[in-house]
Amino acid sequence: MNREKWTVQRILDAKGRCRIGALTAYDYPMARLLDEAGVPLLLVGDSLGMVVLGYPDTTHVSMADMVHHVRAVARARPTALVGADLPYGSYDTPERALTHARELQAAGADFVKAEGGVEILPQIRAILAAGIPFCGHLGMLPQHVLEEGGKYRIKGRDEAGRLRLLSDARELEQAGAFACVLELVTPPVARELTAACPRMVTIGIGSGPDCDGQILVTPDLVGGFPWFTPRFVTPQARTGEEIRAAASQWLQGLNPPS
């Protein structure tokens, strides 16, 4: 197996050749395990807020939270390309976006990700002009869930939505984003965006099979957050149940029936 460090160029070269697998990681052991499994791209996502920190949504995640967890993942020295989310409220101006992107990079991120299209282009340009690789995030934007009435809605269902996504994706590619997460985009529109952007890889989540890559929140994949599993995920393990069983067996062993 090729254990060379994954670079942005290596990820771009995979477009049209093989599907890119990406998973979230928030701490040292998970980053090591996923890296040893050969996952090319690890994202310290702000899903951290729900699946690790117990917040109801991602809007509560701070820069301090992100930096703490990016450092933990970076300590695993993964060969995977490591990305980090700019959290809610951290990229409302180009200056703040750049300051915070630099902080995440200093903590060990190889690239940063932020949610939105043309409305955050000045922020994206500032980040890219400083030489920090950037990944976009279009479709359902979890940092806007409260504006959406608390619902995670599918995007691209009507013509206006399709055209907006297409124009956002093209603008991101033109600005120099190397990748873009497509979250809860209708599969035909995700396929169209993937074909329309030859210099940017699309990484789908709940957006059908025809993206350049797929990303999942790792606890969803391994049953590590058993209280909620998105409809589009089939867990491959039941680690939550195993932890409960191990702890309860150990407790019973402390006080065996006499």
Q: Name the site residues for ligand KIV (rule: CB under 6 A).
A: 24, 43, 45-47, 85, 181, 205, 215, 217
Q: Nearest distance from residue 128's CB to ligand KIV, in Å?
A: 19
Task: Considering the complex, state which of residue 86 and residue 126 has its C-beta at the smaller distance from ligand KIV.
Answer: 86
| CB 61 within 8 Å of CB 53 | yes
Of 119, 183, 192, 241, which one is the catalytic site residue?
A: 183
Task: Considering the complex, state which of residue 49 and residue 191 has its C-beta at the smaller distance from ligand KIV.
Answer: 49
How far apart CA 93 and CA 9 sit, in angstroms, is 28
Token pair of 63 as six digits:
């820069």
- At residue 44, φ and ψ (nearest 5 deg) are -85, 90
**DSSP letter, residue 6:** P
How far apart CA 30 and CA 257 sit, in angstroms, is 37
* Annotated catalytic residue 183: yes
Token pair of 229 as six digits:
């599993």
**DSSP letter, residue 150:** T
**Residue of this chain nearest to ligand KIV (CB atom):** 45
Task: Considering the complex, state which of residue 159 and residue 226 has its C-beta at the smaller distance from ligand KIV.
Answer: 226
SS3 12: helix
Type of residue at 72? A
Token pair of 102 as six digits:
């630099």
Q: Nearest distance from residue 122's CB to ligand KIV, in Å?
A: 21
Q: Nearest distance from residue 47's CB to ligand KIV, in Å?
A: 3
Residue ranges of E strands in the chain: 20-24, 41-44, 81-85, 111-113, 134-139, 179-183, 201-205, 213-216
Type of residue at 164? R
How far apart CA 129 and CA 102 sit, in angstroms, is 12
Task: Considering the complex, state which of residue 132 and residue 205 has its C-beta at the smaller distance from ligand KIV.
Answer: 205
Q: Nearest distance from residue 215's CB to ligand KIV, in Å?
A: 5
Task: Considering the complex, state which of residue 1 and residue 55 has its C-beta at the smaller distance from ligand KIV.
Answer: 55
Q: Nearest distance from residue 170's CB to ligand KIV, in Å?
A: 20
Catalytic annotation, residues: 183
